[in-house]
A and B are shown apart, each in its own frame.
Chain A
Amino acid sequence: MAQIVIKSLRKDFGAFTAVQSSSFTVEDGEFFMLLGPSGCGKTTTLRMIAGLELPTAGEIFIDGAEVSQKPASQRDIAFVFQMFALYPHMNVRKNISYPLVSQGMKREQVRAKVNEVAEILGITALLEKPVGGLSGGDRQRVALGRAIVRDPACFLMDEPLGALDAEFRERMALELRALHDRMGATTVYVTHDQLEAMQMGDKIVVMNHGVVEQFGRPQEIYDWPATTFVARFIGSPAMNLLTFDGMVGNGSTAVTLSGTPVAVPELISGASGALTLGVRPEHVRLDDAAPLRGRIVASEYLGTTQIVSLDSAHGPVKARTRSDVAVKVGDLTGMAFDPRSITLFAGNGRALISAANQKVLAHG
């Protein structure tokens, strides 16, 4: 059990800055996701928390103690890597026992502890088997077992499900999360998969180019992105970003696109010049009467819903509609947006504060 506080953390590799100035807090017992594209600094951040890399500047507190310059062995953490590294010449029990044996724990105690962990993971029947013949999922369970058995203050996981195929990954994600709910240990988890982050995380940090773009609860980040990067990175399909020239200020409740007023949540900040209107595909309605026009270029059937792609004067737009709504490629149609859900972004890509996103973005 532990709270982890990251303050102004920075890491340079020669002239390259991998992490610029990260600050965020992982509360005790949270399942916390570090999310971003490759090269964004998420793994470097995790490795600094683990003590596998020493930061160039900044502080890391685990349960109040500053540990940024301490070696990994003094941090009471357990690391689970993407490649489940097991000792191939040992059976499952010996693999899981190893960290306890090397701590010098008594044999009886080790035995009891390993049995308990195997029970939690549902691998009791495999304990005396060699690791060579195990399936990918069972190998991953054994690797987890070896991490859990030490009762560390926190778990650090670097894309532990990255090597698994889609269907199996889904199942392991659920299992891992259920395990966390039973044990309640603080977990920091690195992934580049936004769906995995949304699905498993209590909180998410979105990173890009070594910078924390946003930090918060999954649904909040999805609904109220702080930057156009987050808007694009979270959600599939991504948030629509329509570019236009305009001016908005305190109290504005509409913007003008192609001469048409579009209602937005009341603004409490202002900007002018090249602006961007962000709206999620499920908040775009195809409505022949709507004055803002788009031409349908494709529709993708997804079962209950479909994704309709349109071209507009402000860039491409995707709408998620019910799949029984008939659409014809080539048709010109109107697009109506749910005004409550819109985010406006200034030219620098940062969201403008409005009455709707104020609560979410104020603490970031």
Chain B
Amino acid sequence: MAEVRLQNVLKSFGSTAALADVSMTVADGSFVVLLGPTGAGKTTLLRIVSGLDRPDAGAVSIGGAAMKGLTPAQRNVAMVFQQYSLYPHLTARENMEFPLKSPLLRTSKPEIARKVAEVAEILQISHKLDNKATALSGGEMQRVSIGRALVRNPAVYLMDEPLSSLDAKLRADLRVELKNIQANLGATFLYVTHDQIEAMTMATHVGVLDHGRLVQFGTPREIYEHPVSIYAAGRLGQPHINILPADLFGPAPQRAAFIGLRPEQIQQGEGQDSLVKRVEHLGDQTRLHLAFNNHDLTTVTHAHTPLRAGDIVKIQPLRPFYFDAAGARIV
């Protein structure tokens, strides 16, 4: 396993800057998740590390070695794409064995069989190993393509939304499994997703991308608890952080234009009156949609709250975030 380092990487497609001066270090053995909406540059960054795309400027190194001019095959990276790409005429087993049969690797037959069986077990596809790739469901094909990456021992795993096509239950299972695999192998993962739950639960570090710029890099907890901007704060947290005029609840710090309140930063029972517009019992907790001084906000309370729509509840900010007019964090 190896460290991946990007230095001042620039990439444009026509007049659009896909990556604008990105420098980032993916430490050896870390699980880095890139977060951002469509067009933020996540996939471009992954493709540049893999060698599928070349940067216009800047450098990529893997394990200390410069990657300039090297093909994807020469980089010893394993990639999993959102769209599975299996050999349709081969079985699931043959697809997974394929990378191990490379003459460069010289893996013995029993070793190949052991590796494939082990990975298939983790991915819950042992019973499908002898099916033709075309006879698998979408979710199964995706698991085989993840398996094909996992049987190898590359310098780094690059994954582009590998779980997005799976159903919720399987996604939750594989989240834990992928994380365990990574931790047990001490593998380096660079992983792209839209899904904030994946980012929060699997990442050792999250890189937040905004229009090709890396705006924050840190542990999920750092980004959740200490976001640098409204944009970064909005990447994590469900329900979404409430962004409101800074002085809505009273005097605000100088230069503050917005106050940011995650649901748990709204204290109930003290402060000023707000109107309960809707109560959603989600089982483990209850979501409250409130109206306060002509603004809507969302908070959460315990599962068996007696509150109902139409009730008045007092609220006040609890250790809020403040942002300036450009959205940068002040306090």
Contacts and interface: CB of A to CB of B under 8 A. Distances in A.
Interface of A: 165-167, 170, 174, 177-178, 181, 193, 195, 198-200, 217-219, 222-223, 234-237, 280-282, 297-298, 300-304, 307, 309, 320, 323, 329
B201 A235 contact: no
A235 B284 contact: yes
A178 B278 contact: yes
A302 B180 contact: no
Contact of A218 (B175, B202, B239, B281): B281
Interface of B: 168, 172, 175-176, 179-180, 183, 194-195, 197, 200-202, 220-221, 224, 236-240, 262, 264, 278, 280-284, 287, 289, 303-304
A233 B282 CA distance: 13
B35 to A, nearest CB: 13
A280 B284 CA distance: 8
A198 B176 contact: no
B237 A303 contact: yes
B201 A300 contact: yes
A304 B264 contact: yes
Contact of B280 (A181, A199, A303, A304): A199
* Best-buried of B236, B262, B264, B282 by chain A (most CB within 10 Å): B282
A301 B237 CA distance: 11
* Best-buried of A222, A282, A298, A303 by chain B (most CB within 10 Å): A303
Contact of A298 (B168, B179, B200, B304): B179
Q: Label chain A's interface by main secondary structure.
A: mixed
B287 A199 contact: yes
A204 to B, nearest CB: 11
B198 to A, nearest CB: 10
A301 B282 contact: no
B32 to A, nearest CB: 15
B289 A298 contact: no
Contacts, number: 77
A303 B283 contact: no
A199 to B, nearest CB: 5
Nearest to A195: B282
21 contacts: A170-B240, A174-B278, A178-B278, A193-B168, A195-B282, A198-B280, A198-B281, A198-B282, A199-B282, A217-B281, A219-B303, A222-B281, A237-B172, A280-B283, A297-B180, A300-B179, A301-B200, A301-B220, A303-B238, A304-B264, A309-B176
Nearest to B197: A302
Given A298-B179, A300-B176, A323-B221, A174 B282 contact: no
Nearest to B280: A199
Contact of B304 (A217, A219, A297): A219
A301 B172 contact: no
Nearest to A235: B283
Contact of A303 (B172, B224, B289): B224
Nearest to A341: B303
Given A165-B194, A280-B283, 19 more contacts: A166-B195, A170-B240, A174-B278, A174-B289, A181-B278, A198-B280, A199-B280, A200-B280, A217-B281, A219-B283, A222-B281, A223-B303, A300-B202, A301-B200, A301-B220, A303-B224, A303-B238, A303-B262, A329-B183
